[in-house]
Amino acid sequence: MTVILTTSPGFGKHGRVTQRLAELGWELIRCTDTSRPDGGMAGHVGRADYLVVGLVPVTAAALEGAVRLKGVLKHGVGVDNIDIPACTARGLPVANTPGANADAVAELAVGLMFALARNIPAGHASVVSGGWDRRVGSQLGGKTLGIVGLGNIGRRLALLARGLGMRVAAADPHADRAFAAANDIALMELDDLLAAADYVSLHVFGGAGNAALIDAGRIARMKPSACLLNLARGEVVDLDALAGALDAGRLGGVALDAYVTEPPDVSHPVFRHPRAVFMPHSGADTVEALENVGLMNIADIQELMAGGRPARVLNPEVFEDRR
């Protein structure tokens, strides 16, 4: 029997994925214990034929006992938590699911902008506590959205924002210039975008290259009324600088869906700020997105089982080595 080990809480639970796994007759082992750094997979990885990865790090050490493993599939897009060179050294193909959850993440970004613009969390809290605190908000139409990272998610968000009547700017050295031109998106350097935008939404990969991309210096370039959204990775934003800017009135608001450690340490000052909104890294958590991602994972596993090479493989050199 084919054994699938997953560290993703959402894999195999939504839409047609559950039925498809049952039809295939694969054994599914869930290792999603957030109190353990490896999710609890150490005791099971030796039985696994394929690993479907959530946010748990996949390191060389984690792979040491994976004697049966034939492939590593990311249940999502970002692979900064997967040591791809270590997988390649073991001859393990790594694949992700680009575009499968772009709509879900982009829609949450819009929702978080509305939450900040119209004080939705505070309004809810007021009513359920017996109050009637009517706060004057602002409209998104006519405001400028700055998108950092114009990939699948960034492009989808740009279209949604344009539909709301927002101006859109983007910072991405590899931006699709034809897409930008066709959709009236101004391409800017990051520092210029930060100075111009009313809302800044981050959609870049994590990892050392983007660590503290938004630090105290860059936050200082933003308008005091501007709002920052991070739906990327926690390390992209300097949380101490963020809290300091909010306390000093140098930032209008913040919405976070990603953290350096998850769940985060809520004793940090930023979590007590009234102009901050938080989500539990759920940008991709819609039935539709989880179904899309899961079915893509299954398709890639089937391709590998048949001796093929998935189109989404990130280290194709493992197939060259096999030849």
Q: Is 250 designated active site?
A: no
> Based on the number of CB atoms within 10 Å of its own CB, is 323 exposed (0-12), middle (13-18) or buried (19 or more)?
exposed
The neighbouring-strand residues paired with 278 are 256
Q: Is 174 designated active site?
A: no
Count of Cβ atoms closer than 10 Å to residue 227 Cβ: 27
Return d(Cα 188, Cα 286) in angstroms, integer.
32
Count of Cβ atoms closer than 10 Å to residue 267 Cβ: 7
- Read off the amino acid at residue 64: E
Return d(Cα 295, Cα 257) in angstroms, integer.
24
Structural contact between residues 234 and 210, judged by C-beta atoms closer than 8 angstroms: no
* Catalytic pick among 156, 233, 235, 291: 233
* Catalytic pick among 30, 281, 303, 312: 281
The neighbouring-strand residues paired with 27 are 3
- Taking CA atoms, 44 is separated from 58, 204, 318, in Å, by 14, 32, 24
Reference 230, options 255, 205, 261; nearest CA is: 255
What single DSSP character describes residue 133?
-
* Catalytic pick among 27, 262, 288, 317: 262
Structural contact between residues 90 and 45, judged by C-beta atoms closer than 8 angstroms: no
Q: Tokens 């079915």 map to which residue?
A: 295
Q: Is 281 designated active site?
A: yes
Structural contact between residues 108 and 257, judged by C-beta atoms closer than 8 angstroms: yes
Reference 97, options 38, 17, 22; nearest CA is: 17
Count of Cβ atoms closer than 10 Å to residue 17 Cβ: 22
Degrees, nearest 5: CA angle 129-133-139: 125
Query: Which positions are annotated as active-site residues?
Result: 233, 262, 281
